[in-house]
A and B are shown apart, each in its own frame.
Chain A
Amino acid sequence: RSVMAACAKGLDRCILSLRLLRNVKLQHERFLSTSLCHLAAGNSSQQPPKFIPPSKPVIVDKTQKVASLRKFLSPEFIPPRQRTDPVKFSMERKDMVRRRKVLNIPEFYAGSILAVTMADPCASGKTNRFVGICIQRGGKGLGATFILRNIIDGQGIEICYDLYSPRIQTIEVLKLEKRLDDNLMYLRDALPEYSTVDLGMKPVPFSPTGEVPVNKLKVKMRPKPWSKRWERPKFNIQGIRFDLSLTPEKMEHAQKWAQPWQEYDMLKEYDTSTLEEQILSEVQREMSK
C-alpha cells in the first residue's frame, strides 16, 4: 500500500522507494517483488529490470549439539555422610546411569534457565512445557529434584521436578550460567523482574569447554518482611543488594547470629574430593558402555 502511494506521486521517487524497500526486510517479500515487477514494467518504457530474488535468511543452528566436555559430576551422585551401606549407593548409581542413557540430563546449576517437557494425561497433546530459572537442586540419588521458578501473568509459579522421573520427556538448558549462591530461594522476596523468564525464549549458545559463566547479579528486594531473614549469616547470601533495603545498623544486628567457630569446626567438614573423582570415573565408564 505504501509502495502504491509512493508510485502515485512520481516515477523516480517510486523506483527509489522500491530500491530502499528492497533493502529493508519485509514480511511479504514475494508480494512486494511481484508488485514491484508489475509497477516497474507498467510505468517504465525500458526493458523490465532483471528479477533479483531476495536474499535467503541465514539459519544459525544454536541448539546444543555437542555434549559438555567439562568434567562435571551432578551433585546427586555424591552420597551424604551416613551410616548406610555403600552397596545401596552403588545400586542407586547403576539405576541413575540406566535412566541417563535413555534421557539426556544436561549439566546445569542453580541460576540456569531450563525448559522441561513432562507427560501430562490432562493436557492437550499429552505434554506440558515449563520454562524457568532453577533456584534449587536438592535430594540425593534417584530422588534428586530441581525447582524451576517463573512468573506467568503476574503470578509467581515454582514447580519441583524429579530429575529421574519417568514422566519427564526432555530437559533443555536454554541458558547455562551460575550465580553467586547455590540456593536462590530469595528470588521469592525479590522484585518480580528477576524471576520472569520468557516462555518462548531461544536457547543461548554456550561453549562445551571452558568455565561456566558466573552471573554476578545482585538482586533488589521487595520491602521487608521477607519469607526468611536473608541478611542473617547462616544463609550466607552474596547475591542480594542489602544496602538498598537494610541500614548498616540492621546488618550489624544480623551479625549477632553469626557463628564464627563453625568454619573451624572439624566435625562438620565433609571432604568429598576423592569420592567425587572415584564416582566421576565410574559414571563416565558406565555411560560410555
Chain B
Amino acid sequence: MRLTLQALISHGRVARKMGLGPESRINMLRNILTGLVRHERIETTQARADEVRFYAEKLVDYAKKGDTDEKAMKMANFWLTEKDLIPKLFKVLAPRFENQSNGYTRMARLPNRQNLDRAKMAVLEYKGNPFPPLYPVKKENELSLINQLLKGYREERAQQLADKA
C-alpha cells in the first residue's frame, strides 16, 4: 500500500529533473555554465538554458563579493571546470555588472533543432557581450522618399516658428 505520494506530487519543487540524477544534473549545468562564461553566448535546449540562467546570475553575485572571499572562490572553483576562467569571472564579469543588482543574462528562443528530436532551442547570453545584439535594432533608411519629404517638412516648420518668434 503506497502511503506517500512524494514521488508523484511536486508542490514547491523548483529544480527540474535532468540527466541521470541530481549529480548528473549538477554536472551538466556546470559544463553549460563553464561554456557560457567562456563564450558569453551559447545555444542549448530551452529547459537547460532556463536552469543555467539562475545559476549564472547567482555565480555573478558570488563573484561580486570579491576575489579574497573564501566562499566565493570555492564556488567559482566548483562551478567552472576550466580553471582559466576563474580570473575572467572575477576581473571581467564582476566589474561589468557592478551597478546592476539582478538581470545579468538574457534568454531568447530559437527555431527548433533540425534533428529528429525537434527540441526547443534557446540562446543564453550575459548582457554587455561583444557580439551583435540578439534583437537587432532596425534603422530606418534616411534616403527613402517618405523620410526625405518628412525631413523637409520638419525643417520648414522649424523655420516658420523661428520667423514668427
Contacts and interface: CB of A to CB of B under 8 A. Distances in A.
B54 A267 contact: yes
Given A259-B23, A261-B22, A267 B79 contact: no
B79 A264 contact: yes
B74 A261 contact: no
Contacts of B22: 259, 261
Interface in A258-272: 259, 261, 264-267
A260 to B, nearest CB: 9
Interface of B, helix, strand, loop or mixed by DSSP:
helix
A139 B149 CA distance: 73
B54 A266 contact: yes
Contact of A261 (B26, B59, B62): B26
Interface residues of A, number: 8
Contacts, number: 24
Given A82-B12, A83-B12, A266 B58 contact: yes
A83 to B, nearest CB: 7
Contacts of A264: 26, 74-75, 78-79
A265 B15 CA distance: 11
Interface residues of B, number: 15
Nearest to B75: A264
B55 interface: yes
A161 to B, nearest CB: 27
Interface string A135-161: 000000000000000000000000000
21 contacts: A82-B12, A83-B12, A259-B22, A259-B23, A261-B22, A261-B23, A261-B26, A261-B78, A264-B74, A264-B75, A264-B79, A266-B54, A266-B55, A266-B58, A266-B59, A266-B62, A266-B75, A267-B14, A267-B15, A267-B54, A267-B55
Interface of A: 82-83, 259, 261, 264-267
